[in-house]
Amino acid sequence: MRSSLLALGGLVALASGPAMAAELRPDQIAFRDIYRELVETDTSAPTGSCTVAAGRMLDRLRKAGFGPDRAEVFVPEGHDKDGGLIARIEGSDPRAAPMLLVDHIDVVAARREDWPRDPFRLTEEKGYFIGRGVIDDKALSAIWVDSLIRMQAAGFRPRRTIKVALTCGEESSDAVNGVDWLLRNRRDVVQAGFALNEGGYGISDKDSRPIALYLAVGEKYAQSFTIEARNSGGHSSRPRPDNAIYDLADAL
């Protein structure tokens, strides 16, 4: 996408003017600050660093009380900019399979000259956020981090362990795919009974009351096909009725 727009309703009530901003609750202001820091950290493959973004989120978790045994930055060997974050809150029931909250923090590259505003500056206009990654997918990453901090502050212990993995390499083949790397090298930290990722969305009414939460249970994927056509051959100046090229064209 050349640009991204995001309106957060039920999760965070955001206003379009400075006067309205004063009405935000302290927890909403704290979330917005996490969100801003993520959006304003360039995590595109050509010019940015997922490791820097992951480190900034780790700093926030450390201040919230997450020690090295519960939150850390991982960096694939030889790929200093393709790091990610793993964190967890232990559940009370060891028999319950963990829940994994996973999301990518890298974004598509953005050239300043292609944007009317700085793509790596969080801008708010008329109730919308504008910037690279405000939807895809730093909103969800901010929500995961904010949720961990809120649960920690409240002393909440879920029944099942909650794991979070913020990874790189979803938007560019130039970066290491963090999910794949974790599965190959740190499978224990992402092993779970089920995972929640990007793809769904929620809607709320004018008073920010939740109306529906949609879950995407499938995703588009690529498929390659090889088609081979044969005939007895001949010269291209006198194509045969059973010409193999025609057969291939028909198949396509």
Q: What is the DSSP letter of 107?
A: B
Contact 101, 165 (CB under 8 A): yes
Contact 85, 165 (CB under 8 A): yes
> What pLDDT is stored for residue 106 in this prediction?
98
For residue 207, CA distances in Å to 10, 13, 167, 211 come to: 8, 9, 34, 11
Section 207-233 average pLDDT: 88
Q: What is the DSSP letter of 185?
A: H
Does residue 100 carry a pLDDT above 90? yes
Amino acid identity of residue 204, one-letter, is S
Q: Model confidence at 242, in pLDDT bands (50, 70, 90)?
A: confident
Amino acid identity of residue 43, one-letter, is T
> pLDDT tens digit string along 128-180?
999 999 999 999 999 999 999 999 999 999 999 999 999 999 998 889 999 99
> What pLDDT is stored for residue 22 in this prediction?
58
> What pLDDT is stored for residue 216 in this prediction?
85
pTM above 0.85, yes or no: no
The residue that leads in pLDDT, 23 or 184, is: 184
Does residue 8 carry a pLDDT above 50? no
Q: Model confidence at 6, in pLDDT bands (50, 70, 90)?
A: very low
Query: What mean pLDDT is reported for the chain?
Result: 89
Looking at 17-26, 94-103, 106-115, which range is the least confident one? 17-26
Nearest-angstrom CA–CA distance, 162 and 139: 19
> What pLDDT is stored for residue 218 in this prediction?
80
The residue that leads in pLDDT, 218 or 214, is: 214
Nearest-angstrom CA–CA distance, 93 and 219: 32
> What pLDDT is stored for residue 69 in this prediction?
96
Q: What is the DSSP letter of 106?
A: -
Nearest-angstrom CA–CA distance, 145 and 152: 11
Q: Model confidence at 124, in pLDDT bands (50, 70, 90)?
A: very high
Q: Which fold has domain 5-214?
A: Aminopeptidase (3.40.630)
Q: Among 199, 202, 181, which residue's Cα sits nearest to residue 190? A: 181
> What pLDDT is stored for residue 241 in this prediction?
82
Tokens for 174, please give them.
Answer: 């130039």
> pLDDT tens digit string along 35-64?
999 999 999 999 999 999 999 999 999 999
Q: Render 17-82 in DSSP notation, one character per residue.
A: SHHHHTTS-HHHHHHHHHHHHHHTS--BTTT--HHHHHHHHHHHHHHHT--TTTEEEE--TT-TT-
Domain boundaries, the chain: 5-214
Q: Model confidence at 250, in pLDDT bands (50, 70, 90)?
A: very high
Burial of 165 (0-12, 13-18, 19+ CB in 10 A): buried
> What pLDDT is stored for residue 12 in this prediction?
36
Strand partners, 202: 213
Q: Among 101, 116, 111, which residue's Cα sits nearest to residue 5? A: 116
Residue 92 Cα to chain centre, angstroms? 28
| Most confident among 7-16, 72-81, 204-213 (mean pLDDT) | 72-81
Does residue 14 carry a pLDDT above 60? no
Q: Among 142, 175, 141, which residue's Cα sits nearest to residue 47? A: 175
Place of tokens 């092993």: 191
Does residue 26 carry a pLDDT above 90? yes
Phi, psi angles (nearest 5°) of residue 164? -125, 135
Query: What torsion do the CA atoms of 160, 97, 54, 198 make, to the nearest 10 degrees?
Result: -100
